[in-house]
């Protein structure tokens, strides 16, 4: 994929859209539950969305291995993955929340938050990948 000014602008715009979506969802969830649940929901839904998009691409391309997929990915997928989902999901927020829980003496919550995100992220990415493949092959 050739990187040019238009591509960078598209990634930046996608990042802005992703950040706005994260803020909206986090705000809504935080009104009903602890802010850590909002971060978990954002990170897991972002992982699932990336898995879904990559699964659809894999099915369309005849099962290209993930490691070689991004180099051959259409620019729209790269903008979605790097821009939109890069702006949507956040590791830094997770890290800060885990540290704040730890410092507040909520050690179990901090560990559950960290492990839950780290272990659940790949699981929902795989689920999204499988759904993406199934949707494209079933179409």
**Residues of the binding site for Na(+):** 86, 89
Query: Residue 112 is encoded by which pair of tokens?
Result: 């559950």
Q: How many whole angstroms separate alpha carbon 19 and alpha carbon 60?
A: 29
Q: How many whole angstroms separate alpha carbon 99 and alpha carbon 19?
A: 22
Question: Given its phi and psi angles, is residue 90 left (phi above 0), alpha (psi -120 to 50 degrees) or beta?
Answer: beta
**Annotated binding-site ranges:** 86, 89
Q: Could you tell me where the DSSP H helices lie in 33-82?
A: 35-60, 66-72, 75-78
Residue 2 DSSP class? -
Q: Are the CB atoms for 35 and 25 separated by under 8 Å? A: no
């Amino acid at each position: 994929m050739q990187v040019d000014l238009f591509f960078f602008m598209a990634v930046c715009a996608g990042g802005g859209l992703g950040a706005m979506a994260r803020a909206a969802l986090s705000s809504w969830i935080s009104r009903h539950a602890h802010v850590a649940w909002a971060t978990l929901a954002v990170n897991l839904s972002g992982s699932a969305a990336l898995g879904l998009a990559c699964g659809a691409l894999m099915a369309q391309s005849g099962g290209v291995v993930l490691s070689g997929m991004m180099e051959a990915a259409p620019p729209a997928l790269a903008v979605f993955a790097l821009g939109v989902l890069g702006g949507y999901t956040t590791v830094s927020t997770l890290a800060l929340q885990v540290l704040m829980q730890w410092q507040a003496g909520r050690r179990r919550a901090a560990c559950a938050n960290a492990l839950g995100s780290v272990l659940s992220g790949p699981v929902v990415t795989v689920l999204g990948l499988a759904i993406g493949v199934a949707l494209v092959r079933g179409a």
